[in-house]
Amino acid sequence: MRIGYARVSLSSQDTKMQIDALKAAGCDHIYEEKMSGRIDDRPEFLKALAFAREGDEIVVYALSRLARSMKQLLATTDDLQRRGIGLRSLTEAIDTASGGPSGSLLLNLMAAINQFEVDCLRARTKAALAARGPGQRGGRPKVMTEPKIAMAKALLIEGKLPVHEVAREVGVGVSTLYRAIPQAKALAQAA
């Protein structure tokens, strides 16, 4: 039996492409998860492992969907081999179910390459964070600058415009105005 496992890291991401590929590969059961691969105790992954029996095959779209570190991937593949369960990765064309040594060799090579990619990404992220000047923050710049806040407060206190018009005047949405000036509604009503 072929058991598919699809995973994305964020709940806002979609597993449709993976599931379509797993169905095309002939998977009888597919387990879907929206959780970081760094977490060992992923409920759907554990269900897939518990469901698999000797002679079955776990199929993933890519090795990165199965594990995020070489250590985690090798531990999983060792467990599968001990239990007589094959592993197949569609993207890397790895198939340990065939029993040949080339599948295991390719699996170890791809695991090492995946780990290298993860390590490089971490190093680049660390370097980019270190390159920032003191006191600099990441993310988008603030939309509500001090002059805009002062202007919005003055307009609100004046009381000639409703809150949504004040927000339009300073070039932001009403929710942004309320985040920058929590007392905006009270200021507008007091005028």
Q: Which two tokens stand for residue 60?
A: 């993933």
Contact 89, 58 (CB under 8 A): no
Q: DSSP string covering 12-40, please?
A: TS--HHHHHHHHHTT-SEEEEEES-TT-S
Contact 47, 30 (CB under 8 A): no
Q: Which residues contact 104 (CB under 8 A, 6 or more apart)?
A: 96
105 φ, ψ (degrees, to nearest 5): -60, -50
Q: Which residues contact 111 (CB under 8 A, 6 or more apart)?
A: 63, 70, 73, 74
Q: In whole angstroms, what is the distance from residue 38 CA to residue 19 CA? A: 21
Q: Which two tokens stand for residue 82?
A: 């001990």
Catalytic annotation on 69?
no
Catalytic pick from 9, 12, 98, 175? 9
The length of the chain, given as a count of residues = 191
Residues marked active site are found at 9
